[in-house]
Amino acid sequence: MIRTMSKTRKPWIAALALLLLVSTLLAACNNKGKSDEEVTLTFWNGFTGPDRPAYEAMVNEFMKAHPKIKIEMDIQPWDTLLAKLPTSLVSGKGPDIAAFNASLIPQYAKAGNILPLEDLYSSKDIDQSVLPPSLVKQMQFDGKFFGAPANFATLMMYYNKDLFKAAGLDPEKPPATWDEWKDAILKTTKSEGSDKQYGLVIGDHATIPNWPILIWGGGGDITSADGKSSLLADSKTIAAVKFWSDLVINDGISPVNLTGAEADKLFLSSKAAMSVTGPWMTPGFTAAGLNYAVAPIPVGPGGPVTLADSVALVGGKNTKHKEAVFEFMKFWNSKEQQITLSVQSGFPPARTDLANDPGLKKNAFAAQFATVANDARFYLGGQEQASKIDNDLFIPAIQTITNKKGSVEDVLKDADKKLNDLLQGK
């Protein structure tokens, strides 16, 4: 009887085994299909300037190297992008990848709208040891990574070689110290007559910040290193602002209330001998036939320093393609692509291990801007309220001083109190 039952079960066992085998094969086929399926990533950014072709070329190179990943770029003005990005991310309709100024990382990370990128850095797909130290900090919030560098910019002093020569200055020997800088500025300033000329144009709003560099150069700062208290009333900050505001007010070295675009226009039209700005201006100045060069910002009592700026790549919190997003960020920050991007855009690479790479020398400006990477600092880096501090406190304080509506000491002491109240949540 036992043998009879065994015989009757054999067909069912065989059928069950066959069913399991087919299921396993189907699962394997389905898994293979998923790994090989095409993925489309949406990428929102504001690269509308002269460097736009360089970023478009980067994306095209990525798609050639990763034929299963398609990138749909939506390039729009930065203000338009930033106006709609927060709500789109919250609603789940935002992009897989976005690019915005790295100073905004704390705001988006605290709100939980962007992906943590710890895995990307811990695996060394992006090696933080080859990034400028200031850039590493800027890609983080609360000690964790949320951004990958999209670009990295340093500022240098641009100077008009023809105006230097006309003022009796050696165009091959730009000023290296504050004393030399002041001398060159005064010699190239013509404050009266129809041929009015400025020695150094200093934008104070709607621009890449200039005044923080001047304060740092004097040994002062806007906030403490931990970002928890104001240093606007520090004696070194006051001394630096007084040094430069006296040159503006008493010697007319620069117009007041300048936007960045207005400062650029004065330099482009040879109405200003010097300007402090980033690598994005080299294509326009060169195309205009301007006889100019760039040099490190002259060193003041606080030591060598310049301003750093960076656009970060971030992942939208609702992306369904995290691995593809990470692959894109890894590719963007590889040696080969950083060199290519630098040569095409004029920006220095976001890696310190490429400063002497022969490939970088194909663009002389990119190589020059790379030389000051380790001296570069971010303005209000990591500050969650950076925009409010800049727009509501710092810029108004500088403009109040340069428009002769208050003394340096009184204005900065008042701004210092307001900044401390803001930082302490009062």
**Contact status, residue 274 vs residue 160, Cβ threshold 8 Å:** yes
Q: Is the pLDDT of residue 191 over 50?
A: yes
Is 21 inside any structural domain?
no
Could you tell me if 88 and 139 lie in one domain? Answer: yes
Distance CA 26, CA 36 (A): 15
Q: Is the pLDDT of residue 29 over 70?
A: no
Is 106 inside any structural domain?
yes
In our burial notation (b when 16+ CB lie closer than 10 A, e otherwise), range 85-109 reads beebbeeeebbbbbbbbbbbbbbbb
Average pLDDT over residues 361-371: 92
Instruction: Name residues whose C-beta falls within 8 Å of residue 420's C-beta, 6 or more positions apart in sequence.
Output: 229, 230
Residue-wise pLDDT tens digits, 85-137: 999 999 999 999 999 999 999 999 999 999 999 999 999 999 999 999 999 99
Could you tell me if 122 and 160 lie in one domain? Answer: no
Percent of the chain at pLDDT above 90? 82
Q: How far apart are the first and last CA of the chain?
A: 89
* pLDDT at residue 161, rounded to an integer: 98
Average pLDDT, the chain: 91
Average pLDDT over residues 387-403: 96
Could you tell me if 176 and 245 lie in one domain? Answer: yes
Average pLDDT over residues 371-391: 92
Q: Is the pLDDT of residue 22 over 60?
A: no
Could you tell me if 300 and 221 lie in one domain? Answer: yes
Could you tell me if 356 and 409 lie in one domain? Answer: no
Could you tell me if 414 and 294 lie in one domain? Answer: yes
* pLDDT at residue 36, rounded to an integer: 65
Residue-wise pLDDT tens digits, 259-316: 999 999 999 999 999 999 999 899 889 999 999 999 999 999 999 999 999 999 999 9
Could you tell me if 391 and 257 lie in one domain? Answer: yes
**DSSP alpha helix (H) spans, 41-177:** 52-65, 78-91, 105-110, 118-122, 133-138, 161-166
Is 34 inside any structural domain?
no
Could you tell me if 185 and 117 lie in one domain? Answer: no
Whole-structure pTM value: 0.83
In terms of residue numbers, what domain contains 103? 39-152+310-378
* pLDDT at residue 295, rounded to an integer: 98
Q: How many domains does the chain have?
A: 2
Average pLDDT over residues 70-79: 95
Is 28 inside any structural domain?
no
Residue-wise pLDDT tens digits, 37-60: 899 999 999 998 878 999 999 999
Q: Is the pLDDT of residue 258 over 80?
A: yes
Is 17 inside any structural domain?
no
pLDDT category of residue 12 using cuts at 50, 70 and 90: very low
* pLDDT at residue 50, rounded to an integer: 78
Percent of the chain at pLDDT above 70? 92
Could you tell me if 419 and 298 lie in one domain? Answer: yes
